[in-house]
């Protein structure tokens, strides 16, 4: 058994070369091929477009989080919702415009390739009704 305790990994400002706006990240746990992060986004905070070499799960833990895959409309998720991105799927995630949100990210056997920032037009694009 391996325990991961809260004080061992404080929140840190997200890397400005991979994120736009205000966001914080925290490595919750890591063991070989699995890495678990908590990410908090303030209004306007979001990742750049990116891909992963393996599967990524996001579980929304607070507020509202917008997710979008390249060439598709965005989706707004609420606390308790989850999404999985397939390997190589170009996507971004961040706070829904006008709100804040948090998610837990579970990356399985993943290398992340960071790409261009998400445009204001893409960020503010409305998601389809549920």
3-state helix, strand, coil in the chain (%, to 5): 5, 50, 45
Structural domains of the chain, count = 1
Residue 16 lies in a domain: no
Instruction: Please count the CA atoms within 13 angstroms of the CA of 6 that sit on its side-chain side.
Output: 0
Residue 18 lies in a domain: no
CATH of the domain at 56: 2.60.120.10
Confidence class for position 127, pLDDT limits 50, 70, 90: confident
Asked if residues 103 and 26 have their Cβ atoms less than 8 Å apart, the reply is: no
Closest CA to 64 of 51, 83, 48: 83
Residue 94 lies in a domain: yes
pLDDT digits (tens, 9 = 90+) for 14-37: 999 999 999 999 999 888 889 999
pLDDT digits (tens, 9 = 90+) for 80-96: 999 999 999 999 999 99
Residue 37 lies in a domain: yes
Residue 73 lies in a domain: yes
E-assigned strands of the chain? Answer: 12-13, 19-20, 23-31, 34-41, 46-47, 50-52, 56-69, 75-78, 82-85, 91-95, 101-108, 112-114
In terms of C-beta density within 10 A (0-12 exposed, 13-18 middle, 19 or more buried), how is residue 23 classed? buried
Confidence class for position 130, pLDDT limits 50, 70, 90: low
pLDDT digits (tens, 9 = 90+) for 95-105: 999 999 999 99
Residue 42 has pLDDT above 70, yes or no: yes
Give the C-alpha separation, 31 to 18, whole Å: 23
The predicted pLDDT at position 23 comes to 97
Residue 3 lies in a domain: no
The predicted pLDDT at position 46 comes to 97
């Amino acid at each position: 058994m391996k325990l991961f305790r809260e004080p061992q990994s404080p929140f840190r400002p997200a890397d400005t070369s991979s994120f736009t706006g205000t966001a914080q990240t925290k490595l919750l746990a890591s063991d070989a091929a699995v890495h678990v992060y908590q990410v908090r986004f303030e209004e306007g905070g979001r990742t750049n477009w990116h891909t992963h070499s393996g599967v990524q799960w996001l579980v929304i833990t607070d507020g509202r989080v917008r997710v979008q895959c390249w060439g598709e409309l965005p989706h707004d998720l609420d606390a308790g919702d989850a999404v999985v991105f397939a390997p190589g799927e170009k996507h971004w995630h961040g706070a829904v415009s006008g709100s804040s949100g948090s998610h837990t990210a579970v990356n399985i056997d993943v290398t992340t390739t960071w790409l261009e920032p998400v445009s204001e037009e893409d960020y503010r694009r409305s998601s389809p009704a549920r």
